[in-house]
Amino acid sequence: MDLTPYRLTAEPYYHPTGHEIALYEHAYAHRLPLVLKGPTGCGKTRFVEYMAWRLGKPLITLACNEDMTAADLVGRYLLDAEGTRWHDGPLTTAVRHGAICYLDEVVEARQDTTVVIHPLTDSRRILPLDKKGEIVAAHPDFQLVVSYNPGYQSHSKSLKQSTRQRFAALEFDYPAAEAEADIVAHEAGIERALAARLVDIAHQSRRLRERGLDEGISTRMLIYAGVLIRDGLPPVDSCRMAMTAPITDDPDMQRALGALLESAF
């Protein structure tokens, strides 16, 4: 199978915040399954994209959700003009042909779905296709990477210990202010001084997480706001639409966040 569509042709912009690149390279050298833990919009997906590009490996990404079944991962029989034929799912494609398979927000998937990855995350490195009666041995280049946001952990949405202990882990957080401003300025194409102002608003919002706000303003949201400002939308309107309105419906919290915007601009 030609994996060209899954290869990144341009280098994704990634600003290291520690020695996570070296850690990932060591994990990949041994094909260790890896879990990335960190808040929404802090750069986990971009990091995986960058590492796939750096290593020259194809990347197959799947956004997990509660309706995803095991068949969505491994494949199923489908009827076409020539009859009923087996079609590999994205996980099976990665296993057969040696791609990095990235399961984003893996805790959103049902636990009876994620158990299919267990044989891939130990010394066996196999994927049983029960409906097809086949056992697929993982290609030497295959690696499994998953991610989730620990801040949204609950009893009903968490990694089982039997799954968690099969992975090495890298922990992510929002970058330090200086680095985050560099990232926002680059990605949004705005002046660094403006980016630094947006980052300051985000840091203030993150301090409200212990006062009723589930999640602070993410780096991704800062980039969205920067793009809107760059294109001519007034800063307060841009920030309200891209940064503060999406993260809460609580009127009191909306007013508090609105006050941050007014004072900043």
**Which is nearest to 39 in space by CA: 146, 145, 148?**
148
> Which position has the higher pLDDT, 264 or 153?
264
CA distance 11 to 29: 21
Cα 250 versus chain centre, distance: 27
* Pairing assessment for the beta strands 83-88 and 75-80 based on DSSP bridges: antiparallel
CA distance 50 to 209: 30
Residue-level pLDDT at 176: 95
CA distance 225 to 107: 28
Residue 221 pLDDT more than 90? yes
3-state SS string for the chain:
CCCHHHCCCCCCCCCCCCCHHHHHHHHHHCCCCEEEECCCCCCHHHHHHHHHHHHCCCEEEEECCCCCCHHHHHEEEEEECCEEEEEECHHHHHHHHCCEEEEECHHHCCHHHHHHHHHHCCCCCEEEECCCCEEEECCCCCEEEEEECHHHCCCCCCCCHHHHCCCEEEECCCCCHHHHHHHHHHHHCCCHHHHHHHHHHHHHHHHHHHHCCCCCCCHHHHHHHHHHHHCCCCHHHHHHHHHHHHHCCCHHHHHHHHHHHHHHC
> Which position has the higher pLDDT, 208 or 73?
73
- Find the mean pLDDT for residues 2-13: 95
Residue-level pLDDT at 226: 98
Question: Would you say the C-alpha torsion 120, 170, 218, 13 has a positive or negative sign?
Answer: negative
pTM exceeds cut of 0.85: yes
> Which position has the higher pLDDT, 47 or 79?
47
Residue-level pLDDT at 214: 79
Residue 157 pLDDT more than 90? no
CA distance 29 to 45: 20
Residue 154 pLDDT more than 70? no
pLDDT, mean over the chain: 93
Residue 46 pLDDT more than 70? yes
- Residue pLDDT, tens place only, 180-204: 999 999 999 999 999 999 999 999 9
- Find the mean pLDDT for residues 101-123: 92
